[in-house]
Structure 1
């Protein structure tokens, strides 16, 4: 049964799940046309036994070397006039155990000034990794590329993916790179998390991808993945953050080489400009990083989007950084994202305003000045809110409110040229109003809708009062969303299979979500992160971590439901990026394993998991013209 879902923006979704009471066992509609076994009995007989079962041993297919390199914009030599007067500088590595001190104390941007940014912070247990220089890659042995044995209940769906469907893997610099104080990088707010909470594992080493990136790319390409999504840290490109300060020569060279190696291996790079790594210089105190409950904050960790640093706003400084990166790499990069999940790092309405306007400015810069032909978006968080009881209008209103706050706050102006939703304006008193000129400038500044739909959330109104009452009370414990979130439906069952963290396997809701997004915001939809941390995986032995059936179920069931959305509902779903290509630092934790490869923390060795093979095989075996 399908019911229309009336949304805050005036759009109507195509479907809404409802609960239909029924007694007894499930029907088998897929068997309704075949009556052969409906009444007949099986025939029993003895026969000679032998081990006749056979298995086909297959190996993953690597991405072939390219015959030509596509271009999406002019080379930097032709774009350098767009970022005039850039100077480059070479910095060293910071080591608190070193007895040497820089001698260029008279230089405002020299090694002494650079080191002072690290010395000013009371780091605890600062550690360094195994590597201190780029590791040259080696081919992946064929023995590692053998697909795992098949399980009897694999996805049977026969729909196909378009030839140009994007299949990629994703990670962010702050979660994989390590080498945080090497080659010119300065501190970011996520580096300091362990200072706020001693139980948080630091990211100083992480996956040491900064030095192991070539081997990591080699391993990903060997599995047949086409797109590699990664972020570039602002503080490694512009250690002193501000316009007019020197650009880090080593940082530019590192990502230039990384992009070229991705292309050399037959893949395509996809770049995120900001992924939870605001330079620490934007903060007056380390304690400002977290957002205290009951203070009206929007996210859970402040990325200080509204801050100023030495009289330069975050917006202006970020746009300058984005221009530097885009002019250097736009010729080889087909997909860009300005921000990743900006709502979660927003402190207030000024933060949201800065993100939207910085994004729009960079979009226009890319299109009008660089003349780029690639695609640009920004990606949102929202674990899809579904009404606890779809027949209860109050629950439906709560779900609409929840989703509108998280999505339409950005997407209304960017995709529809419309004002913020009431869900946002009613809760955030200091929101910055848009003028008609603002909306005209912002409208259409994203080429596709980017979402990270890990799971679904069951939503109902606040238990003690109305959504409006909650929104008016800055200290209400359910702010800013002002709804009750849970994992159980009216039946008392969990919404899906539980993971190590907040993720539940909810593929049917994923299909509903794609319908919601496409029909509300009227743009092609890309999933830029989705993944599943198997419960207790960190405690398992290596071979059991690799045979990760729940994660395989997650990916295959989500992809199956996505295909239904494409073929049965008419949704333009253009791609999916798995989170993540390896277990990494999950913002304070190494035990929540989202990776499709394992990582040995002592040796940094990687091993493929079953889910990696089956994710790729699911898509490539169904790709048109494949």
Structure 2
């Protein structure tokens, strides 16, 4: 059983998080829809416990689980859609804490089953989704798990590159929440913003992308019980990501309470994406940033499925989970056609 099965939306919405949008049964339709509108990539995650029911080496590999994702990946390729696979998206096995010393090797064992099986068809891998915010009161995971999580990621990276001889790219997704000082002339505000960035990005970004120690601000915070990384650990972690994913999000205020026709004509989301993509082009052509792509992305919202953050609307009341493109999907694709050459 994965962790997400036990995370319950509000009672009025659902009793648990088991039924989202029925992609497990409707993936062929979903992939065909992406291809039809001209989206060339499909980013999805694989459920750890669908492959290894108990999460570690003591459990047999679930062949039907492997076969399911075989068909998902093959369907992508059939439609000319490139798959991007995330190994863990907020659903570690319920019996395996992120702080468990057994976690890094268990994650590596799971990754071996997946990457060796699909590696001939998948060239873009993400080890973990938003591990940099997996701590604190909300999740109950201690900050001391940060080293554990990073070592699990690094073990997978080194195995993929050095043992499997994988030729694809591999990274992890950070939640890139940005903090700015309320008053840039106030030293306390500036320090608060810097401290926030240390906790969001520095806690894992320092070691993986820079080969540097945890931020001093974090190490000096009492009661976190976070131990400094050793030189050996820093060397092992450094450079274990082929690129940085800058992940941000947006949802029109109270969109869920509006009539469906309003949700489908989501001008606010269109304007957000267009402005974001314009600034991305500036980063490329004015600042020289090596941007390799941009994906529209939805997320599993833990509080309620009334919120629909993506560029498609799902009807959860008609028994068929009917999908409908929102205006933002058409405008998003049109932006690439207008400004980006293939």
What range is the shorter-chain TM-score in?
over 0.9
Matches within 5 A, 1:519-534: 532-534=250-252
Q: Which structure 1 residue ranges, 5 or more long, are not aligned? A: 1-186, 283-303, 455-531
Query: Per-residue deviation at 1:267?
Result: 0.9
Tell me how far apart the structure 2 counterparts of residues 337 and 424 of structure 1 sit (CA, whole Å): 26
Q: Distance in 2 between matches of 1:191 and 1:240?
A: 14
> Superposed, which structure 2 residues align to 1:458-477 within 5 Å?
none
After TM superposition, the structure 1 = structure 2 runs for residues 589-604 of structure 1, keeping only pairs within 5 Å, are 589-601=304-316, 602=318, 603-604=320-321
CA distance in 1, matches of 2:79, 2:63: 25
Give runs of aligned pairs for residues 274-289 of structure 1, distance below 5 A.
Answer: 274-282=88-96
CA contact (8 A) 1:315 1:357 kept: yes
Tell me how large the CA RMSD over aligned residues is. 1.7
TM-score of the pair, normalised by structure 1: 0.51
User: What per-residue deviation string (whole Å, max 9, x for no partner) do you get for residues 526-548 of structure 1?
Assistant: xxxxxx32233333333322111
Supply the distance in 2 between the matched residues of 1:423 and 1:407 (Cα, whole angstroms): 12
Instruction: After TM superposition, give the deviation of residue 424 of structure 1 in Å.
Output: 1.8
SS at match of 2:28: helix
Structure 2: gaps of 5 or more residues: 136-140
Equivalent position of 1:551 in the other structure: 269
Distance 2:300 2:116 in 1: 30
Q: 1:264 aligns with which of 65, 78, 85?
A: 78
- 1:453 deviates by 2.2
Q: 2:100 aligns with which of 307, 329, 339?
A: 307
Q: 2: distance between equivalents of 1:409 and 1:541?
A: 41
Distance 1:349 1:609 in 2: 39
1:339 maps to which residue? 128
* Residue 609 (structure 1) aligned to one of 298, 314, 326: 326
State yes or no: 1:448 paired with 2:243: yes
Residue number among 296, 317, 322 corresponding to 2:106 in the alignment: 317
Q: What CA distance in whole angstroms lies between the structure 2 residues aligned with 1:350 and 1:273?
A: 22
Quick check: 1:435 aligned with 2:224?
no
Instruction: Give the Cα–Cα distance (whole angstroms) in 1 for the partners of residues 208 and 257 of structure 2.
Output: 44
Is 1:422 aligned to 2:212, yes or no?
no
1:152-188 CA distances to partner (integer Å, 9 max, x unpaired)? xxxxxxxxxxxxxxxxxxxxxxxxxxxxxxxxxxx21
- Rounded to whole Å, the distance in 2 between the matches of 1:325 and 1:432 is 32
Name the SS of the counterpart of 1:576 in structure 2: coil
Q: Residues 166-223 of structure 1, C-alpha deviation per residue, up to 9 Å, x if partnerless?
A: xxxxxxxxxxxxxxxxxxxxx212211239x645632222111101000001001111
Task: Specify which of 269, 272, 292 is matched with residue 574 of structure 1.
Answer: 292
Aligned-residue offset at 1:255: 0.3
**1:227 maps to 2:41:** yes
Cα distance in 1 between the residues matched to 2:85 and 2:98:
20
Among 311, 336, 340, which residue is 1:619 paired with?
336
CA–CA distance in structure 2, aligned partners of residues 329 and 220 of structure 1: 21
Matched, 1:400 2:194: yes
Per the alignment, residue 215 of structure 1 pairs with 29
Work out the CA distance in 2 between the residues paired with 1:198 and 1:608: 28
Equivalent residue, structure 2, for 1:476: none
Aligned length: 333
| 1:45-56 aligned within 5 A | none
Give secondary structure in 2 for the equivalent of 1:451: strand
Q: Which deviations, in whole Å up to 9, do the C-alpha atoms of 1:282-337 show, x marking residues without a partner?
A: 3xxxxxxxxxxxxxxxxxxxxx31126xxxx1221111101111111111112111
C-alpha distance in 1, partners of 2:179/2:71? 41
Alpha-carbon separation, structure 1, partners of 2:128 and 2:209: 16
CA distance in structure 1 between the partners assigned to 2:113 and 2:33 by the alignment: 30
Match for residue 138 of structure 2?
Answer: none
How many angstroms apart in 1 are the aligned matches of 2:142 and 2:300?
27
CA contact (8 A) 1:193 1:200 kept: no
Superposed displacement of residue 569, structure 1: 1.9
Q: Tell me, in whole angstroms, the C-alpha distance in 1 between the residues paired with 2:100 and 2:130.
A: 18
Q: 1:225 Cα shift?
A: 0.8
Deviation at 1:363?
Answer: 0.4
User: Using the alignment, how far apart are the partners of 1:236 and 1:251 within structure 2?
Assistant: 5
Q: State the Cα distance separating 1:345 from its structure 2 match.
A: 2.0
Deviation at residue 574 of structure 1 after TM alignment: 2.0
Tell me how far apart the structure 2 counterparts of residues 387 and 435 of structure 1 sit (CA, whole Å).
33
